[in-house]
Homo-oligomer: A and B are copies of this chain.
Amino acid sequence: MGKKNKQFVEKVTAMEEDFAQWYTDVVKQADLVDYGSVRGTMIIRPYGYAIWENIRDILDGKIKETGHQNMYFPLFIPESLLQKEKDHIEGFAPEVAWVTHGGDEELQERLVVRPTSEVLFAEHYSKIIHSYRDLPKLYNQWSNVVRWEKTTRPFLRSLEFLWQEGHTCHATDEDAAEETNKMLDVYAQVCEDYLAIPVVRGQKTEKEKFAGAKYTLTIESLMHDGKALQSGTSHHLGTGFAEGFGIRFTDEQGELKPVHQTSWGITTRLIGALIMVHGDNRGLVVPPRIAPTQVMIVPIAQHKEGVLDKGYQLKEQIATFARVDIDASDKMPGWKFNEYEMKGVPLRLEVGPKDIEKNQVVLVRRDTGDKEFVSMDELSMKIPALLEEIQTNLFNKAKELREEKTSVAKTFDEFKQLLEEKPGFIKAMWCGDVGCEEKIKEETSATSRCIPFDQETVHDKCVYCGEEADKLVYWAKAY
């Protein structure tokens, strides 16, 4: 790394030194967010929002392809409505914002600012579902939600965040189970194929499942510091809400039955995962498939005749096969290099007078730093190929890192030692007793991340109590 990079590098704390500070530095320096004036809220700046728009558009396409329809529910939930499903209110009441006044008047009933919309969907479904012909109902909503969190960090845990929440109704438990699986698969695809984040798919334990669900499926990813991040969840809600809200249908035999429901969501948290999986000490690294700008053109000696013209001409040409921009501001090239490295733009294209003479450009990869001279005639072949290479490389690197940071513990001593010395996923057997799970959390602050679909027998005894155990669980400290 040349001298010119120094000015920016100094602004970002090294991740080995202080990972939390590194994260904060990157979200700020890469212009992803600014802090809102209310504690724990964030302003998602244009660059951060453009990443979110790409994630949203990709996922929205898949949500629609799988037969779902978008709709929009109100922000406010009457207190009495939230209380209709007991487990649900217990799970959410401590962390909601309350509206008590409208204009000058005190409200007769307090309103909750939605922390999630199960009860709103449930109430609506109870009105519009009558017969088996009305099923399935496959709805989704993109919205903001509010949770009154005590400790907050941009993207990872904030008072307000953006998300989508799917809510579906089915005639049978099996149909709901199939939907729960299907949407987890969609999430895993978005994470792996677009965000280049490898995930472990599995089921949450009873203790960690969603408040009010029959069971919760999850995709779990691993950050650079060895902490896990729950990246998307899909809940089989069973008939709990249907019973509470009277969502019943007449089946083909004329019998009245409750519907079987699911709900599933991903949030702006995924941007946090992106940062912590791919980022490095020079800043963000954005996988090409979701990068707002895939190629940034930086003209060299742009005051010289023909350079800017060529830059704009290249931009126009590249725009036909990649998302491209040019920085023609009067900042020094070195400054620009730093800025787009910080922002994690996958490819930098440099073009100066000498390059023009030779009918070539310089392409620099953000992920490896590799530099290459490429003929201007080959850009339409070379750039898409390089972008694919970067995409694949990021995924492979992330997967390798995860494998490195995944260990097996057979005893609780091993478990504690690993957490200390080699933080990451710990694969360990569990007897199924919530007591053991709670003790592990109490004593190590690691939580069960999931019971992975890919089960293996790494041992035959529970890592905590030593009793017989046949469930493999992924454990980790988590965001």
Contacts and interface: CB of A to CB of B under 8 A. Distances in A.
A94 B113 CA distance: 20
Interface string A157-182: 00110100000000000000000000
Nearest to A145: B75
Contact of A160 (B74, B120, B146): B74
Nearest to A45: B71
Nearest to A72: B44
Chain A interface category by residue count: 35 or more
A41 interface: yes
Interface string A59-73: 000000000011111
Contact of A144 (B52, B97, B143): B143
A412 interface: no
Contact of A148 (B75, B102, B133, B148): B102
A74 B38 contact: yes
A312 interface: no
A111 interface: yes
A81 to B, nearest CB: 6
Interface string A81-110: 100000000000011111111111000000
Nearest to A68: B46
Nearest to A330: B133
Do most interface residues of chain A lie in helix, strand or loop, or is the interface mixed? mixed
A284 to B, nearest CB: 17
Copy tally for this chain in the complex stands at: 2
Contact of A74 (B36, B45, B120): B36
A94 B99 contact: no
B99 A99 contact: yes
A99 B44 CA distance: 22
- Nearest 8 pairs of A and B residues by beta carbon: A46-B69, A41-B74, A36-B74, A102-B148, A98-B101, A44-B72, A103-B148, A100-B100
A111 B97 CA distance: 10
A139 interface: yes
A123 interface: yes
Nearest to A123: B37
Contacts of A97: 76, 99, 101-102, 111
Interface string A29-43: 000001011100111
A45 to B, nearest CB: 6
A124 interface: yes
A49 B37 contact: no
A207 interface: no
B98 A162 contact: no
B70 A144 contact: no
A37 B81 contact: yes
Interface string A385-412: 0000000000000000000000000000
A50 B104 CA distance: 36
A206 interface: no
A53 interface: yes
A102 B36 CA distance: 17
A246 interface: no
Contacts of A81: 37
12 contacts: A36-B120, A38-B76, A43-B73, A43-B74, A45-B71, A49-B72, A75-B75, A75-B113, A75-B146, A94-B104, A98-B101, A144-B144
A396 to B, nearest CB: 32
